[in-house]
Amino acid sequence: MRVLCSLLIACMMTTGAIAAPDAGPAAPAPNAANNTQDPSQVVQQAAQGLLKDLESNRDAYRKDPKMLRQLTDKHLLPYFDTEFSARLVLGRHWRDATPEQRQRFVQAFIDSLIDNYGKAVVEFTAERLKVFPSHEEPGARNATVRTEIKRDDGSVVPVNYALHQTDQGWKAWDVVIEGISYVKSFRDDFGAEIDQKGLDEVIQRLEAGARPPMPATSGKKS
């Protein structure tokens, strides 16, 4: 879940939708069940699939939020381990949550993120992203994929994706932008809010369309 926002965050950084920290992310493609590539290939394929669809009908995606949601569902969600990330984001609150609360939190967070920030994906272009080869030991269960995102002003933001092996192949679960882990940042922000208001109220706020708290940034805008 936390990881789902990685590409969204990268797009927002390059289009100026949020204040940019000093590092950013990448993306995924369909058929996650057949995901047998190495981690960097997964990221590259995801980005290419997303960009191919965008470039063929960018104006339509700008006009129709439903089409945009279908795009993210097709090219992003299959390559993110949303439940694993959600468990880390909620931390100790995950243990205390009921199965229904867990499911509602995961879905509400994803929906809120895409609804509030997904439009930034429409402006994502191929020349903004560079994916570096990953180097894992044979049998490795965890991997880091380095990418770079180019901002509008030409500056480059390094973005690292954390992936792990699942029954469906490699999936991302965190993105680190200039040393800032977005899973940790969301855990800190949501943890404080849940301690103060309770999990149900936080879920209801997200379900009502409120923006999830974005991690602190350096204040530098793209």
One-letter amino acid for residue 216 of the chain? A
- Answer yes or no: is 81 within a domain: yes
- pLDDT, position 8: 55
β-strand partners of 148: 130, 158
Give a three-class secondary structure readout of 144-173.
Answer: EEEEEEECCCCCEEEEEEEEEEECCEEEEE
Q: Are 58 and 79 a contacting pair, CB within 8 Å? A: no
pLDDT value at position 42?
Answer: 86
Q: What is the pLDDT of residue 214?
A: 57
H-run or E-run covering 94:
helix 92-96
- Amino acid, single-letter form, for residue 105: F
Categorize the per-residue pLDDT at 46 as very low, low, confident or very high, splitting at 50, 70 and 90. Answer: confident
Helices 99-117 and 5-15: crossing angle, nearest 10°? 20
pLDDT score recorded for residue 90: 92
The whole-number average pLDDT for the span 156-161 is: 86
**Domain count across the chain:** 1
Residue 135 lies in a domain: yes
User: What is the gyration radius of the CA atoms in the chain, in angstroms?
Assistant: 16
Give the model confidence (pLDDT) of 165-214 as tens digits: 999 899 988 888 878 888 888 899 899 999 999 999 999 998 998 776 65
Identify whether 222 is part of a domain.
Answer: no
CATH number at residue 149: 3.10.450.710
**Predicted confidence band at 102 (pLDDT cuts at 50, 70, 90)?**
very high
216 occurs within a structural domain: no
Burial class (CB in 10 A: 0-12, 13-18, 19+), 192: exposed
Rounded to whole angstroms, the Cα distance separating 144 from 161 reads 5
In a domain? residue 118 = yes
* Domain containing residue 104: 2-210
Q: Work out the percent of the chain whose per-residue pLDDT is above 70.
A: 78
Q: Is the pLDDT of residue 73 over 80?
A: yes
- Residue 144 in this model has a pLDDT that exceeds 90: yes
Q: What is the per-residue pLDDT for 116?
A: 73
The two counts, helices (H) then strands (E), for the chain are 9, 7
Question: How high is the mean pLDDT of the chain?
Answer: 78
Q: What is the pLDDT, as a whole number, of residue 199?
A: 96
User: Would 215 be classed as within a structural domain?
Assistant: no
The answer to whether residue 32 is domain-embedded is yes
Whole-structure pTM value: 0.76
Does residue 166 fall inside a structural domain? yes
